[in-house]
Amino acid sequence: MIDYQTAREIVLEQTRSFGHETVPLSDAMGRVLAGPVAADRDYPPFNRSTMDGYALRLEDLGNGSGDFSVIGTVYAGNSAKRELARGETYRIMTGAPVPKSAGLVIRREDVEENADWIRIKEIPDKGSGHRSWKPFLNIAIQGEDLRAGQMVLGRGTVCTPSTVGLLATLGQQQVTVEKFPKVAIITTGDEVVELGSVVGASQIRNSNRWLLQSLFKGRGGDVALADHARDDPGQLGEMVERVKEFDLVALTGGVSAGDADHTPAVLESAGIKKLFHKMAIRPGKPTWCGVMPGGGMVFGLPGNPFSCLVNFILLIRPWIESCQGQVISAPIGLPLGFAKKKLTPLDEFFPVVLRGTPGTLQQVPLNGSGDIRLASGAGYLALHAAGNGDLPVDSQVLCYPMD
Ligand code: AMP
Ligand code: MG
């Protein structure tokens, strides 16, 4: 039996690209950029006023106060008709271009406003007697955020709401993103019934299909095929044949040692090359992993819902991230807010949520891997490492983000 880090390495050796595609910006959320994106012009594109106020020549301010005649108003989207001469000012609005001759913008609150002239209020500094007006006060200088041509977003960037906002600013109506793998979900089990069907006393509803589908959708992907097989090697074998050209097959149930656990034998006789079977973790131990003749990956996951989720986080997610050129979600060390007993010699994973100031990890209730609540509300999957004994409060534990 291998440890989960070794399993991850084996999975990551199978990294391959699914190609690129161009999508409208409206569909970019959650997708991964396939190449770098550069600034199309300077940002800000002009010296921009960051306040509603008055644009003035620095050299006219003398001892820091004085009277100025207002020669017009510059609104956002407009520009000044001419440069300022001595003793003149423009009323200027937030977002408007500041004329080149103006060295600063003084806030409305700091002047006495009259019909066509203003007086700068004397607001003495603590020590010096006069307020020292600084060059470029309340002005965002052209190019101070980004220079034209400067690389802004790299390959492998995941499109978050902020990224999409930035891409819109940069004029990217279409974005080239990594293609998502063609995914199949196969669930198994005689006791498992589809949502919407009558569920008998000894039956359970198929939650794994929905769990896995949401995990893929949550990463901007989709599922090309989702089907269910009874605990019948013939039926399962036929289903596996149908998905052999897919990039990723997530199959749940039937991977352990029960009499109805046919998955490993069916996968091997379908010509799928086994990479490993079983990892020294809890939950999620019986996982089977292999690679199809076309290069697609097959993950035979335990049927217990939480085990399925753990395996997605530890194996499937990093594989997708690696294939898409992303930085692989790394674990972070966080302090445990409770004491935890070691129950097995395995790497134990448990769900936690970070709460409080300073933040500590709190327990999320989970009654074993079959708990249908799936630790919802947990922010991290924490590791109680095989080499550790009982963990006292405040122990640092490695935490993998849940999403
Ligand atoms: P197995 O891995 O097939 O031995 O299943 C382990 C446990 O997970 C059993 O209690 C199954 O009933 C349950 N299970 C298997 N498949 C699913 C599924 N698709 N949705 C929810 N629970 C499942
Ligand atoms: Mg089963």
Q: Name the closest ligand to CA 232.
A: 2
> Which atom of ligand 1 lies closest to the CA of 228?
19
CA distances from 23 to 173, 179, 219, 281, 298 (A): 9, 10, 15, 39, 28
CB distance 284 to ligand 1 below 6 Å:
no
Residue bearing the CA closest to ligand 1, atom 16: 303
Q: Check pLDDT > 90 for residue 125.
A: no
Radius of gyration of the chain (CA): 30
Q: Check pLDDT > 70 for residue 124.
A: no
CB distance 368 to ligand 1 below 6 Å:
no
Q: Burial, 268: exposed, middle or buried (Cβ in 10 Å; 0-12, 13-18, 19+)?
A: middle
Give the 3-state secondary structure percentages of the chain, helix then strand then coil, rounded to 5.
20, 30, 50
Q: Name the closest ligand to CA 301.
A: 1
Predicted confidence at residue 396, as pLDDT, reads: 98
Q: Name the closest ligand to CA 300.
A: 1
pLDDT band at 403 (very low <50, low <70, confident <90, very high): confident
Residue by residue, what is the 3-state secondary structure of 47-68? CEECCCEEEECHHHCCCCCEEE
pLDDT band at 140 (very low <50, low <70, confident <90, very high): very high
Q: Check pLDDT > 60 for residue 17.
A: yes
Helix or strand holding residue 33 (H, E): none
* pLDDT tens-digit series, residues 2-13: 999 999 999 999
Q: Which residues pair with 117 in a beta bridge?
A: 69
Q: Tokens at residue 343, please?
A: 């129950």
Q: What is the CA(307)–ligand 1 centre distance, in A? A: 10
Q: Check pLDDT > 70 for residue 131.
A: no
Strand ranges inside 157-235, DSSP E: 174-178, 183-188, 192-193, 204-205, 225-229
Q: What is the CA(107)–ligand 2 centre distance, in A? A: 70
Ramachandran angles phi, psi of 242, nearest 5°: -70, -20
> Which atom of ligand 1 lies closest to the CA of 207?
20
How far is 99 from 49, CA to CA, in rounded Å?
10
pLDDT band at 62 (very low <50, low <70, confident <90, very high): confident
* Substitution candidate for ligand 1 out of 185, 199, 252 with most atoms within 8 A of CB: 252
DSSP letter at 18? -
pLDDT band at 63 (very low <50, low <70, confident <90, very high): confident
How far is 106 from 51, CA to CA, in rounded Å?
8
* Average pLDDT for 286-304: 97
* pLDDT tens-digit series, residues 245-265: 999 999 999 999 899 999 999
Percentage of residues in the chain having pLDDT higher than 70: 98
Q: Check pLDDT > 90 for residue 122.
A: no
DSSP letter at 304? S
* pLDDT tens-digit series, residues 29-46: 999 999 999 999 999 999
Q: Check pLDDT > 80 for residue 208.
A: yes
CB distance 379 to ligand 1 below 6 Å:
no
CB distance 206 to ligand 1 below 6 Å:
yes
Predicted confidence at residue 133, as pLDDT, reads: 86
Predicted confidence at residue 126, as pLDDT, reads: 57
Q: Check pLDDT > 80 for residue 64.
A: no
pTM of the model: 0.92
Residue bearing the CA closest to ligand 1, atom 3: 253
Predicted confidence at residue 130, as pLDDT, reads: 54
pLDDT band at 65 (very low <50, low <70, confident <90, very high): confident
**What's the chain's average pLDDT?**
96
Q: Tokens at residue 117, please?
A: 């002239």
CB distance 258 to ligand 1 below 6 Å:
yes
Q: Check pLDDT > 70 for residue 355.
A: yes
Q: Burial, 361: exposed, middle or buried (Cβ in 10 Å; 0-12, 13-18, 19+)?
A: buried
Percentage of residues in the chain having pLDDT higher than 90: 94
Q: What is the CA(27)–ligand 2 centre distance, in A? A: 37
How far is 251 from 267, CA to CA, in rounded Å?
10
Q: What is the CA(41)–ligand 2 centre distance, in A? A: 58
| Amino acid at site 91 | R
